[in-house]
Amino acid sequence: MSAEHPNATAYRATAAAFRAGELDTLATLIAEDVVWHIPGIHARDIVGIGALLTFLRGLAARGFRLEEHDVFGNHDHVRALSVMSVRQDGVEVSTRVVSVFHYRDGKQLERWFYPDDPAALETLFAKGT
Backbone φ/ψ region at 39: left (φ over 0), alpha (ψ -120 to 50), beta: beta
Q: List strands edge to edge, sheet with 107-115.
A: 44-47, 30-38, 107-115, 91-104, 77-88, 65-73
Q: What is the pLDDT of residues 12-22, one digit of tens each?
A: 999 999 999 99
**Tell me: domain 6-126, CATH 3.10.450.50, correct?**
yes
Give residue limits of the domains in the chain.
6-126
Q: Nearest Cα to 66, choosing from 52, 50, 85, 79?
A: 85
Q: What is the pLDDT of residues 30-87, one digit of tens each?
A: 999 999 999 988 789 999 999 999 999 999 988 999 999 999 999 999 999 999 999 8
**pLDDT higher than 70, residue 128:** no
Query: 0.85 exceeded by the pTM?
Result: yes
Residue 37 CB partners (closer than 8 Å, separation 6+)? 43, 45, 110, 111, 112, 113
Residue 10 CB partners (closer than 8 Å, separation 6+)? 29, 78, 103, 106, 107, 108
Q: Nearest Cα to 64, choosing from 46, 30, 88, 48?
A: 88
**pLDDT higher than 60, residue 102:** yes
Coil, helix or strand at residue 55: helix
Q: What is the pLDDT of residues 21-37, one digit of tens each?
A: 999 999 999 999 999 99
